[in-house]
Each structure stands twice: as C-alpha cells, then as structure tokens.
Structure 1
Amino acid sequence: MRTVIFDLDGTLADTSGDLLAAANHCFRKMGHGDVLVHGPDSGVALRGGRMMLTHGLKRVGVYDEDTVQAYYPVLLEAYAQDIDTHTSFYPGALQAVEMLSDAGYGVGICTNKPEHLAELLLTRMGVRDRFASLVGADTLPVRKPDPAPLREAARRAGGDPDLCVLVGDSDTDRNTARAAGVPSVLVTFGPSGDDMAALEPEALLHHFDDLPGLVPDLIGAAA
C-alpha cells in the first residue's frame, strides 16, 4: 500500500493558540505575565514547548536552560488540560484525508508532539479514527528529522515506507522526507508558509483541495 503521512501541528491543524496559552500559563507562574502573543509568535509555538519557553524567557531577559527544563512538564500539563479550545483544522484538511483514504491510500500522522498529547488532541477533536497510524516524538527512541518515525508511521498505516509522501510545514519535515528518500509536500498556509519554497520540496500545497491530485504523481515518481 502507498501512504500519505501528515505532520500535525501547523500542517493538519493550527494548534498555536492552545500551545501559546500553555506557555503563557508558565510565564504567569514565573511572575512575567503573558509573554507570547498569538499571531506574531504562532511560528514559535509550532516549534514546540521548549522553544516557546526559551523564546519567552529571552524576551524578558531571564533565560536559562534550567528554567526551561523545570517548566517544560508544567507546560505539558497545562496544555493537556486545555488542548482543544483554540485549535482548528485547516480548511479542507479532513476532506483531503477522507478522499485519500477512499482512494486506497494509507493515511497516518508523524509528529514531534508527544504521542499521548497527539492522541488526546485527535480524540478530543473526534478524528482519531481517520488515521491508520500515529507516531509521536516519544514513540521511538528518535524523532524527526530522523527518518525512522516516518517510516514507522507508513508501516503502521499498512504501507511500504518507500512508497509514501510526507506532508509538513517545516525544514524538519523536509529533512525527514529527504533522509527517508521520499517526496515531501510543504504547506504554504501556516505561520512559516512564505519560507517553504526555499526548502525546495517536491511540491508546495496552497490549499488542501489540491492534495489528492498531487499525491499520485509524487508517489509514482518515487516508485
């Protein structure tokens, strides 16, 4: 089987609002108030919890690595308690997933979000059953851009890891696909969309309506 594997944050869904809220919860506990701002800091949010803490602490001039490590579990707990308040899927994302599944592709997720949080989010959003596989940051001993999680996501979706395409939104996704020797599609509608062309993926995606038409040629070329 051929598979289409998706990144989650910034690709399938805009999760930045809830991530930033969890980070600001930490900054308030530190006594700094809300440090990160939705919109300008959305790209930082999609690069993970430690990056948000680092960025915010540097902004207020009190960065140190020990504080980042100490508050990272606090951030994860706050995020888990309020994971789907502001999160929404990008227009056409779920329709594209359904069309690909109906066309016979295995569809899965490979994310650098901890697996239990990805499971929780997808379950809360009512869409976990639409994805045949889910590999998170801690599912394996390594995470993206190592190719092993992508290949595992393809296998768990019932596919041949050499016959898949990765849909993502970052240099991490581009480098993961390159390391795995498979095509990548990078979305242009996320916070870092203007930077995607410079990464030279096999395709750029401006709207999910176009994805089902791109996939056959991309996986065919890889084969």
Structure 2
Amino acid sequence: MTQKAILFDLDGTLVDTAPDLAAATDHALVRAGRPAIGLESVRSMVGDGARALIEKGFRASGGMPEPAAFEAAFSDFMIYYGRHIAATSRPFPGVATCLAALAEQGYALAVCTNKPEALSRSLLDQLGLSGFFGAVVGGDSLLVRKPDPGHIRGTLDKLGPAFDWAAMVGDSANDVNAARAAGLPCVVVSFGYTQIAPKDLGGDRLIDHFSELPDALVALGG
C-alpha cells in the first residue's frame, strides 16, 4: 500500500492563535516598560518561533533592550502564554472534519511548526486535536527549523517509515521554502499569518477553506 503523509504548520494554518499570542506579547512588553502593539501587528509577526516574536515586538515598540531585559520579557511571555494558550485560540473552520477525513483515507498526519514543541502539544491537547497526529515537531525539537528542509525531513522521520509521497500545508514563506527545499509540494491557506500575499508565496495550491484540502492533495498526486 502506498504510504502518504501530510505535514501541517500550526499557527495561522490549523489554529487561529494570533489573539492569545498578541495578549502574551503585549503582557511581556508592558511589563518591560514598552507600549502594547496590538493584535494586527502581532499577526504579521508570527511564524518564526517565540523568541523571534518577542524580538519583533521589541523592535516595533522602540528597539531591542539589554540582553537581561530581553530574557526577562521572554520568560514573562512564555509563562503568560503557557497559562492562556487556548483562552481564545480556535481551529480554523473545517479543520477537525478535514483531519478526520484525511486520517480515514489513510494519510499519516504530523505537525511541523516553529512554535516550541511543549506549547504546541499543550495547544493541540486543549483543543482536542492531538489524536490526529502521529508526530508533533516544534521549532526546538531538532537542531534546525523551517525554512530549513531538515525540519520537514526530521518530522517525516519521527512520523514513521519511509513515505512514497508527502506534502506540506502552511501559511507562510517558511513553509513554502522548507517544502521546496525538501522536495515536497506545498498547499497554502489564504487565511493565515503572512506579510506576503498568500497567492504570491509560491505554493502549489491555494485554498480558502479546509474543505478544499482533500481535492488539492489529490491534484498534487496525493
């Protein structure tokens, strides 16, 4: 039997996490004496991991602080976000139905995200999505992370034996570039977090709703 795998980004692809990420970022910035930057600013900063998010928050609110102040703010962010990770975050429409259908069709499913692994697993647990995935590989799980193709290859290794075909589903240039470098097709969602227009990211297919994903995968040879 042909073995096929689908790797999913998390923030901005499977789950709308921006409101909780923004609340945690603003909490950390305000405690550091900076102004809050708000949801819309944070939405465009998501995708490179937690430390990069806080760095971008500082740069948007006056510039980088001393290293000790940055580490304190990062700690504040992690503690606050860990406690409120699913306060308002919700799967995008159709996610659970689509994942169930893909699993029923025999696809092996995994999460490949730059979000820290522990936070990723906590979020998936609290939203009832963990059972769909054979592997969850965060930005701190390996020595590399997206856009490095090693993140995708490492996720496939953790998912199971060699696959005859695999694809990435994401919302950002990191997802597309990592997939390209790993030799995988990439489906881009139109509703994620990116400063580049989704249609200009270079994905192989663009979808507006998860109900469109199964047909997109078939069109790509899946």
Structure 2 residue 18 is matched with structure 1 residue 54: no
Of 209-218 and 155-164, more deviation after overlay is shown by: 155-164
CA distance in 2, matches of 1:48, 1:157: 22
Distance 1:194 1:60, change over 3 A: closer
TM-score normalised over the length of structure 2: 0.90
CA distance in 1, matches of 2:126, 2:190: 26
Q: In the alignment, what sits opposite 1:155? A: 157
Unaligned 5+ runs, structure 1: none
**Equivalent residue letter for 1:195:** A
Q: What do residues 86-117 of structure 1 show as CA deviations (whole Å, max 9, x unaligned)?
A: 10110011111111100011011100011111
Q: In the alignment, what sits opposite 1:124? A: 126
- Equivalent pair of 2:37/2:61 in contact (CA under 8 Å): no
TM-aligned CA deviation for residue 159 of structure 1: 5.2
- Equivalent pair of 1:19/1:49 in contact (CA under 8 Å): no
- How many residue pairs get aligned? The number is 219
Q: In the alignment, what sits opposite 2:25? A: 23
TM-aligned CA deviation for residue 186 of structure 1: 0.8
Q: In the alignment, what sits opposite 1:38? A: 39
Distance 1:3 1:54, change over 3 A: same
Q: 1:73 aligns with which of 66, 72, 75?
A: 75
Of 187-196 and 95-104, more deviation after overlay is shown by: 187-196
Structure 2 residue 15 is matched with structure 1 residue 13: yes
Distance 1:60 1:135, change over 3 A: closer
- Equivalent pair of 2:47/2:114 in contact (CA under 8 Å): no
Structure 2 residue 137 is matched with structure 1 residue 135: yes
TM-aligned CA deviation for residue 150 of structure 1: 1.3
Q: CA RMSD in A?
A: 2.0
**Equivalent residue letter for 1:58:** R
**Equivalent residue letter for 1:127:** L
Distance 1:214 1:60, change over 3 A: closer
Of 69-78 and 179-188, more deviation after overlay is shown by: 69-78
CA distance in 2, matches of 1:159, 1:15: 31
Identity in percent: 35
CA distance in 2, matches of 1:127, 1:37: 28
TM-aligned CA deviation for residue 46 of structure 1: 4.2
Q: In the alignment, what sits opposite 2:190? A: 188
Q: What do residues 33-80 of structure 1 show as CA deviations (whole Å, max 9, x unaligned)?
A: 5x1212343122444333332333233324236243442222112111
Unaligned 5+ runs, structure 2: none
**Equivalent residue letter for 1:179:** A
- Equivalent pair of 1:7/1:169 in contact (CA under 8 Å): yes
**Equivalent residue letter for 2:39:** H
- Equivalent pair of 2:50/2:115 in contact (CA under 8 Å): no
TM-aligned CA deviation for residue 15 of structure 1: 0.5
Of 178-187 and 46-55, more deviation after overlay is shown by: 46-55
Q: 1:146 aligns with which of 122, 145, 148?
A: 148
- After TM superposition, list the pairs within 5 Å mapping 1:65-104 onto structure 2: 66=67, 67-104=69-106
